[in-house]
Structure 1
Amino acid sequence: MRRIAVLWIGLAFASAVLGAAAAFETRTSRLQAIKTVGIISAIGEEMSLTQAGLTGFGKTGQSASISAWGLDEFIVHQATKLLSGRFRVQPVSYRRVAFAAVRDSPVTPVNLLRSDPFKELVRSDVSPQGLDAYIVITRAKSKLGNGRNVEGVGLAEYRTLLADYGLIHALYEVRVIDGKSFDVIEKRAAAPLDNTATMRIAGPSGAVDATFDGPASSERLRAAIADLITRSLPVTLGDMHLLGSQ
C-alpha cells in the first residue's frame, strides 16, 4: 500500500509539473504571436494618505486630487517607449474612469482561471478594437505594517513614540488581454524595488519625509512617484517577457 501511495503521489506531482509547463508554453506562444498592442493606464487621479502606527489608528483615510500630474499619460508614454522595441504600439481611447473604478485586485499570484473584471471593459470601452492585445495598467493593493490596505498612489505615515516615517508608494499591476478572445494572457503586479525604507510593502515604494505640505501640490512627491514608475515598469514588463526579442 505504501508503494501504491508513493506511486500516486509521484504521478500527481508529475501531472502538476506537466500542467504548469503546458500553461507556460501556451502563454509564451500567445505572447509571441502578438504584433499590435494598445496601452491603457488607469491608476487613477487621486493620491491617498494613510496614517498608521501608535498614533495613527482610528483616523479616517484621506485623499487628494493629482489629476494635474498627468500620471496615466506619463505611464502610457513610458510603456510605449519600452514596448515599441517589440510591438507596434497603437494609440487607443478608453473611459479611464471606468477602469479606475474597478477595485478588485490585491497583489496576488496570477490566476488566469478566475473571471477578470477588466475583460469586458476592454471589449466594450476601448477603441479601436481588433488589436492583437491590450496592455492594461491599473492599481494594485498591499498591506501596510499594521494590516491596513494601501492602494495605487499614496503616502503612508507611520508614527512611533520615538520617530515618524514616511513611505511613498505606486502600486500597480499589468495585464495582457487578448484582443480577439479577451482572455487574460498574463498578469503581474509590480514588485518592490530595492530601497532603505523602514516600512516595506508588496510593490514599488520608497522612503520620504513624514511631513509634507499636501500631496497634490508637492513637486517632490510627484517626482518621487514618477521615479518609482520609471524604475519599476521596465522590470515588470521584462518579467512578463514583453520586452526586446523575448
Structure 2
Amino acid sequence: MRRRVILGLACAIACVALGAAAAFETRATRLQAIKTVGIVSAIGEEMSLTQAGLIGLGNSGQSVSISAWSLDELIVQQATRLLSGRFRVQPVSYRRAAFAAIRDSAVAPVNLLRSDPFKELVRSDVAPQGLDAYIVITRAKSKLGNGRMVEGVGLAQYRTLLADYGLIHALYEVRVIEGKSFDVIEKRAAAPLDNTGTMRLAGPSGPVDETFEGPASSERLRAAIADLITRSLPVTLGDMHLIDSQ
C-alpha cells in the first residue's frame, strides 16, 4: 500500500514537471515568433502618499498628480531602447487612463483563474492592431508593514515605537500580449532591486532621504523614482527572456 502511494506521488510529480516543461517550451516558442511589438505604459500619472504602522490607524492615504513627470514616456523610451536589439518596436496610441483605471492585478495568485483584464483593452484601445505582440506595463501592488497595500509610484512612511522609516516605490508589472489571439504569453511583476532595507516591498523601492524635504523635493523625488524604473526595467525584461539578462 505504502509503495503504491509513493509511486502515485512520484507519477504526479513527474506529470507536473512535464507539464511545466511543456508550458515553458510553448512560451519560449511563442516569444521566438515575435518580430514586431508595441509598448503600452500606464503607471505614472499619480503618486500615492501612504502612512502605516502606528501612524497608519484610520489614515486612508492620499495621492497627488505627477503627470508633469512624464514617467510613462520615460518607460516607453527605456523599453524601446532595450527591446530594439531583438524586436522591431513600433509606436502605438492608446487611452492611458483606461489602462490605469484597472486596479486589480491579474498577476496576484487569487486572480490567476480570471480572464486578464488587459486583453480586451489591447484589442479595443490600442492602435495599430496587427503587431505580433504588445508589451503592457501597469501598476503592481505590494503589502506594506501592518498589511496596508501600496501600488504604483508612491512615497510611504512607516512608524514603530522605536523609529520612523520611509521609502519611495515604483511597483509595476509587465505583460506580453499576443497581437492576434490576445493571449497573455508572459507576465511578471518587477522584483525588488535589493533586500537590504529595514522596510521591504515586493518590488522596486528605496529608502527616503532627508533631502526630499524642501522646495526642490519634487524634482529630487522624480529623479529618484526615475532611477528605480531605469535600474529595474532591464532586470525585469531580462527575467522575462525579452532581452539578454543584465
TM-score normalized by the length of structure 1 = 0.93
Provide the rounded CA distance (Å) in 1 between the counterparts of 2:108 and 2:5.
Answer: 33
Distance 1:182 1:113 in 2: 16
Shift of residue 244, structure 1, vs aligned partner: 4.2
Match of 1:226 in 2: 226
Map 1:52-201 → 2, pairs under 5 A: 52-105=52-105, 108=108, 114-194=114-194, 196-201=196-201
Offset of residue 115 of structure 1 = 1.0
Residue 119 of structure 1 aligns to a residue whose secondary structure is: helix
Give per-residue Cα distances to partners, 1:138-190, cap 9 Å, x unaligned. Answer: 00000001100000000001123443221000000000000010000000000
Shift of 1:207: 0.2
1:174 and 1:189 in contact (8 A); partners too: yes
Q: Cα deviations across residues 61-101 of structure 1 (Å, max 9, x unaligned)?
A: 11100000001000000000000000000000000000000
Q: Give the ranges of 4+ consecutive aligned residues of structure 1 lying more than 3 Å apart after TM superposition.
A: 106-114, 209-217
Residue of structure 1 equivalent to 2:242: 242
* Corresponding position of 1:17: 17
Is 130-139 or 188-197 further displaced after alignment?
A: 188-197
State the shift of 1:60 in Å. Answer: 2.1
Paired amino acid for 1:104: D
Residues 231 and 201 of structure 1, relative CA distance in 2, 3 Å threshold: same
Identity rate of aligned residues, in percent? 84
> CA 1:134–1:165 in structure 2 vs 1: closer, same or farther (change >3 Å)?
same
Change (3 A) 1:215 1:105: farther
Tell me whether 1:40 sits opposite 2:40 in the alignment.
yes
Q: 1:147 to 1:210 in 2, by over 3 A?
A: farther
Contact persistence 1:157–1:210 (CA under 8 A): no
Given the superposition, is the C-alpha separation of residues 170 and 125 from structure 1 closer, same or farther in structure 2, using an over 3 Å criterion? same
Quote how far apart the aligned CAs of 1:197 are: 2.7
Cα deviation for residue 209 of structure 1 reads 3.2
1:40 is paired with a residue whose SS is strand
CA distance in 2, matches of 1:119, 1:166: 36
Instruction: Structure 1: give runs of 5+ residues left out of the alignment.
Output: none
